[in-house]
Amino acid sequence: MLVLRLLNVVAPAYFLCISLVTFVLQIFLFIPSMFRDPSATSLLSPALLHGALFLFLSANALGNYILVIQSSPEDLGKGLNLGEGTEVVADWLDGSRSPGSALPSTHFCRLCARVTQRHDHHCFFTGNCIGSRNMRNFIMFCLYTSLACLDSLVAGMAYISVALSMSFANPLAFLTLLPHSINQFFSGALLSSEMFVILMLYLWLGIGLACAGFCCHQMLLILRGQTRYQVRKGMVVRARPWRENLREVFGKRWLLGLLIPVLNVGSDNHRQKEK
């Protein structure tokens, strides 16, 4: 438990550090290098378009990240008729409280010390549980994080191709880039800044693929009306049309939430909270 609590603190700090490094590299290295092209002077230049795209992706990823953290799980016993906080903790920890005494898929998280309605999983990179209140923001966070990593990966490869005078036309060039770069770095033929960018390329690739895969898996569960917690516990869910399952998470005005980071707009859960 101590290791999990430590991970719950270190993982968000690690993610914010990677985000800050990515932002600095994009703004102060990749985008300025694009302006070296004499033709990139118009308002529709690739440098300005790339900068606007990166800022849009970063703002949505960071905005939804903050909303996931702010949309915390339910306080102990609040609105769930679970009793007082200390009693609830004791009941949930010793197993005396049956799952049927709470709402379906309600789960007490030892790390958050709170109860989550329609619990999905505990995300260490946000230090928060993912449930009915922040599921949509979590999916948007994963989506825009994967797109921001892809954007940074493409910009970084363009920068390295110019700095090292190499081409990535051959798919094997990217796979062999790291071992060749390590040899050149220790032989003194490669600058430390260029080596750092190369390491970030593989980090962006890994984070981007992980977020994209997690987002696709989460969307598949939503279409089926399930959560990861229900699948892990073998819970049987009532079959509903996939449109209703999507509307429950994203709301009717889903397009607004897709373009800007906002709370669950128009969702059934959000309207029930307001009532």
**Strand, helix or coil at 139?**
helix
Whole-angstrom CA distances from 247 to 4, 136, 176 are: 34, 10, 45
Average pLDDT, the chain: 81
In a shared domain, residues 45 and 132: yes
Per the domain annotation, does 275 fall within a domain? no
Q: Which residues are tagged catalytic?
A: 123
Q: How many residues are recorded in the chain?
A: 275
Q: What is the pLDDT of residues 224-258, one digit of tens each?
A: 988 998 888 888 888 889 889 988 888 877 788 78
- Identify whether residues 112 and 228 lie together within a single domain: no
Query: Stretch 196-202: mean pLDDT, rounded?
Result: 95
For residues 53-82, one letter each, b for 16 or more C-beta atoms within 10 angstroms of the residue's C-beta and e for the rest, the string is ebebbbebbbbbbebbbebebbebbeebeb
Same domain, residue pair 131 and 229 = yes
Does residue 242 form part of some domain? yes
pLDDT of residue 82: 47
In a domain, 45, yes or no: yes
Are residues 90 and 11 located together in one domain of the fold?
Answer: no
Say whether both 172 and 58 belong to one domain. Answer: yes
Same domain, 14 and 91: no
Distance CA 123, CA 129 (A): 6
Q: pLDDT band at 44, cuts 50/70/90?
A: low
Range of the domain at 3: 1-71+118-267
For residues 168 and 80, membership in a common domain is answered with no
Q: Average pLDDT for residues 72-91, to the nearest whole number?
A: 48
Specify whether 99 is located in the same domain as 175: no
Q: Are residues 147 and 126 in the same domain?
A: yes
Q: 125 with 35, same domain?
A: yes
Run of H or E residues at 107: strand 107-109
Domain count, the chain: 2
Residues 94 and 205 grouped into a single domain: no
Q: Are residues 220 and 248 in the same domain?
A: yes
238 within domain boundaries: yes
Tokens representing 172 are 């094997």
CA distance 78 to 75: 5
